[in-house]
Amino acid sequence: MTFASTPIPSRTEYVLESIKHAILTGGLTPGQALVETELAGQLGVSKTPVREALKTLAGSGLVVMSRYKGATVRMVDATMAHEVCDVRLLLEPEALRRSVAGGVSFEAAQDALDRADEAADAAERSLENRAFHRALYLPCGNPLLSRMLDELRDQAALVSTAAWATHPSWEREAGEHREILQLAVAGKADAAAKALHSHIASFVSRAFPESTSDTP
Give 77-114 pLDDT, tens digit per residue. Answer: 999 999 999 999 999 999 999 999 999 999 999 999 99
What count of residues does the chain have? 216
Beta bridge mates, 190: none
Q: In degrees to the nearest 10, what's the CA dihedral of 113, 168, 26, 23?
A: 60
**pTM to 2 decimal places:** 0.81
DSSP state of 159: H
DSSP helix/strand/coil, 87: helix
Distance CA 104, CA 95 (A): 12
pLDDT at position 3:
54
Question: How many CA atoms are closer than 13 Å to the CA of 36, on its beta-carbon side?
Answer: 14
DSSP state of 33: B
pLDDT at position 211:
55
pLDDT at position 185:
97
Judged against a pLDDT cut of 60, whether residue 213 lies above it is answered with: no
Q: Go through the domains of the chain in sequence order and give each one's CATH number.
A: 11-73 (1.10.10.10), 78-207 (1.20.120.530)
Give 132-168 pLDDT, tens digit per residue. Answer: 999 999 999 999 999 999 989 888 888 888 887 777 7
* Percentage of residues in the chain having pLDDT higher than 90: 59
